[in-house]
Amino acid sequence: MSVTGRKLTRNCINDKKSHWIWRAHIAVFGFSTRAIILPLVQAMVLIALANSSPLVAKLIFNKAYAWPIDNNLTFLDGRPLLGASKTVRGVVVSLITTTLGAWLLGLGMRIGLLVAAAAMGGDLLSSFAKRRLSLSPSSRATGLDGRDAVEPEVLREF
């Protein structure tokens, strides 16, 4: 394809149009979105791994290795501390898969461990609060579930 007798190449487009667009974007917003988008995508992948890997492990292992974290203890109000759905298997699988995922993304294993620990800690805390509110395991509670903040309304319907 030629424009005014000159063959368009990828470098020609990138050098003239793309470069000007990115320079204008930096001038207007003060930063390059390229530097922001990749870390956001990496963080979303790690959070998705941390939160979905226990569910995948439940599908694969069924009831095997499903020891409740709270060892079926009850709180002062007589309700379960966390509930039977919070298992050692889920936490261990989340820690392992998120750590490996961070390593594969080139972020380092420590980042993966931190993300998984934060996700599992938040999940356990919300489970504790749900039991105090007499909500059933795996029920949704606006403000307690992290998925409310990151899940679009359209995906909630499926």
pLDDT in tens, 63-116: 888 898 888 888 888 888 888 888 999 999 999 999 999 999 999 999 999 999
How would residue 2 be classed by pLDDT, with cut points 50, 70 and 90? very low
Closest CA to 125 of 83, 93, 76, 82: 82
Give the least confident one: 27-36, 41-50, 92-101. Answer: 27-36
Contact (CB, 8 A) for 120 and 113: no
Q: In angstroms, rounded to a whole number, what is the distance separating the alpha carbons of residues 32 and 25?
A: 7
Contact (CB, 8 A) for 79 and 137: no
- pTM of the entire structure? 0.67
